[in-house]
Structure 1
């Protein structure tokens, strides 16, 4: 079956994660495209910082390897207390009867858990399977799980069906996290499917709220999905430094410290 470009590139990244270094011939055989097509993919992916070309093949960047190796279940347990504080601050931005959008991040899941404790009527749209499960029995919350493909080891929906559903909705606020945030690069993530979906989420929402624990500040992952100028509010659990905060203020971003 013929793969779309994004599917092919994601498959390349998965194969490199498993083997770290592969030849063009090995990748061509496993992905099912010609070596010429594969070389063009690899060259473009190297320019975008996703991998490093080697003589006759490619290898995974160390940063990308670190990003990929951290599964959702590991991330969910990291900085749990800090994420809980961020969720409480995020809740203050939500009003009755709004339609909010939560990505599939572990921080957004913490916000869903906090919402479950409150008496507030909302429509919650999410790409996160765990987030939808968390809220499904709450009588005050209408949950819309945007569709797509569930891949092995994933807790998020992938594919173009999600975009079709988003186009039919009016979103008041998007709460989104990322593998990294910097003033220069904005919000960045590893999974290329999630990056494309998050770009559409950013486009659809009236307000963009970045919920970022301190470990992500100053880090940069593979690809951006929201530039700094697109963010309205940034909630973090640590002082980010006066210089960085001033740069964010210069970009008209409200900075909230969940301490």
Structure 2
């Protein structure tokens, strides 16, 4: 195999990990014909970038680690920030709208707020727990997208719900992500979840990204919404002047949620 550039190697490593979830340096060396020493350097750099987790003799996908933890545990991470972001998001939801929520823990926080609001809505969601919360409000019509239930999570994956999306006009899609890049937009690890989220983006008039500070500048394998497809970002992350300029140039409305730790 001809010598690959570093970005090409990293992309290939992620593609392999996305299929296998975990791999050893020895196996990786045989598969892509790169020395073990070079691969160890690559894996260390990729771990620093939040793309994977190093193990003894190899690496695992970050998403693999996350999937080993129950949704109830994961939703506790930055819970207060997620609640404040969800509270801000609720301010732009008006009566009679059709909105969509993904299966993220931040969207679940938004669902908990909406179930106690005096508002008439249609809500489309890929989140099982999200749908359950919303069903407690008799003024909210809940449409749960079809798909494959991901073990240990709150989400449905795959494109089985795409046919429903083609029949629905969604005003705003509220979504979170594994990471956000000012160049690439909203990113996730799971190929199956990315596939569904892309369809959700395409069926929505507007896309609102709900991102706590830990998601900003975090890399992942695939984009489900380009920077040009995002209309609103709601976050506790304090933008630099350059970042603010970049979002303004793209016409993205940045709704800042103050966080005392910054």
Matches within 5 A, 1:147-166: 147-166=146-165
Q: C-alpha distance in 2, partners of 1:172/1:105? A: 19
Report the Cα distance in structure 1 between the residues aligned to 2:106 and 2:221, rounded to whole angstroms.
20
Residues 13 and 23 of structure 1: is their aligned pair in 2 closer, same or farther, counting only changes over 3 Å? farther
Pairing 1:195-210 to 2, within 5 Å after superposition = 195-210=194-209
1:42 counterpart residue number: none
Whole-Å separation in 2 of the counterparts to 1:131 and 1:149: 16
Could you say which residue in structure 2 is the equivalent of 1:189?
188
- DSSP-derived class of the 1:78 partner: coil
SS state of the match for residue 211, structure 1?
strand
Task: Check whether the contact 2:21–2:64 (CA below 8 A) recurs between aligned residues.
Answer: no
What SS does the aligned partner of 1:255 have? strand
The CA distance in 2 between the partners of 1:131 and 1:10, in whole Å, is: 30
Q: CA deviation at 1:171?
A: 0.4
Aligned Cα root-mean-square deviation (Å): 2.3
**Equivalent residue runs for 1:50-129 within 5 Å:** 53-56=28-31, 62=47, 63-64=51-52, 65-70=61-66, 71=69, 72-129=71-128
Aligned equivalents of 1:109 and 1:214: distance in 2? 18
Unpaired runs of 5+ residues, structure 1, are 1-8, 25-52
TM-score by length of 1: 0.79
Structure 2 equivalent of residue 15 of structure 1: 20
Q: CA deviation at 1:240?
A: 2.0
CA distance in 2, matches of 1:241, 1:165: 40
Shift in Å, 1:141:
0.6
CA distance in 1, matches of 2:80, 2:17: 35
Q: Distance in 2 between matches of 1:67 and 1:249?
A: 32
Unaligned runs of 5+ in 2: 1-13, 34-38, 53-60
1:234 counterpart SS class: strand
CA displacement at 1:137 relative to structure 2: 1.9
Cα offset, 1:106, TM superposition: 0.6
Aligned counterparts of 2:146 and 2:211: Cα–Cα separation in 1: 25
Q: 1:10 to 1:96 in 2, by over 3 A?
A: farther
Cα deviations by residue, 1:117-172 (Å, 9 ceiling, x for unpaired): 21101011000111011111211111110011113223211222111111111101
1:161-205 deviation per Cα after TM superposition (whole angstroms, max 9, x unaligned): 111111111101000100110111110001110101111111110
Seen in structure 2, the aligned counterparts of structure 1 residues 84 and 184 have a Cα distance that, compared at 3 Å, is same
Look up the SS of the partner of 2:247 in the other structure.
Answer: helix
**Residue 10 of structure 1: CA displacement?**
9.4
Change (3 A) 1:168 1:23: farther
Which deviates more, 62-71 or 140-149? 62-71
**Offset at residue 23 of structure 1 (A):** 8.2
Structure 2 distance, partners of 1:119, 1:10, is 46
